[in-house]
Amino acid sequence: RGTQIFVGGQIGWNAQQQFETDDFIGQTAQALRNIVAILHEAGADPSHMVRMTWYIVDRVEYNARLKELGQVYREVMGRHFPAMTCVQVAALVEQRAKVEIEVTAVLPD
């Protein structure tokens, strides 16, 4: 039991809605940092995540860079691994975006 927190899709741009990189790993790191910031606003942290859905535009790059992806994930999120789904999409709404991640978290009562 607890309060559910729904984090809408986060992409790899900064607080000013500007991309600092077109690199997949760099955008992923920023999207994850955005998620952590939103969770903190709700009084939660990555350990409260129960689900993540990743939308990527290039599964070949995703698979080729799994080691780097795992490293940046652990740096930002720690060693908490909720249920995850990864889906390749034709494109994201923001043309430069390479990844979009949405999260559900539960803050215990």
26-55 pLDDT, tens digit each: 999 999 999 999 999 999 999 999 999 999
Instruction: Report the chain's mean pLDDT, rounded to a whole number.
Output: 98
Residue 18: which pLDDT band, with cuts at 50, 70 and 90? very high
Q: What is the mean pLDDT of residues 54-80?
A: 98
Name the residue among 17, 16, 33, 15 with its Cα closest to residue 25: 33
For β-strands 83-88 and 49-56, DSSP reports them as: parallel
Q: What is the mean pLDDT of residues 76-85?
A: 97
Q: Where are the domains of the chain?
A: 2-108
3-state secondary structure of 4: strand
Structurally, at CATH architecture level, domain 2-108 sits in 2-Layer Sandwich (3.30)
Q: What is the mean pLDDT of residues 81-102?
A: 98
H or E element at residue 36? helix 24-41
Provide the pLDDT for residue 103: 99
At 47, phi and psi to the nearest 5? -65, -15
Q: With a cut of 90, say whether residue 65 has pLDDT above it.
A: yes
Provide the pLDDT for residue 1: 85
H or E element at residue 83? strand 83-88
Check: CB of residue 35 under 8 Å from CB of residue 28: no
Provide the pLDDT for residue 91: 97
pTM for the predicted model, two decimal places: 0.96
Tokens matching residue 76 = 């930002």
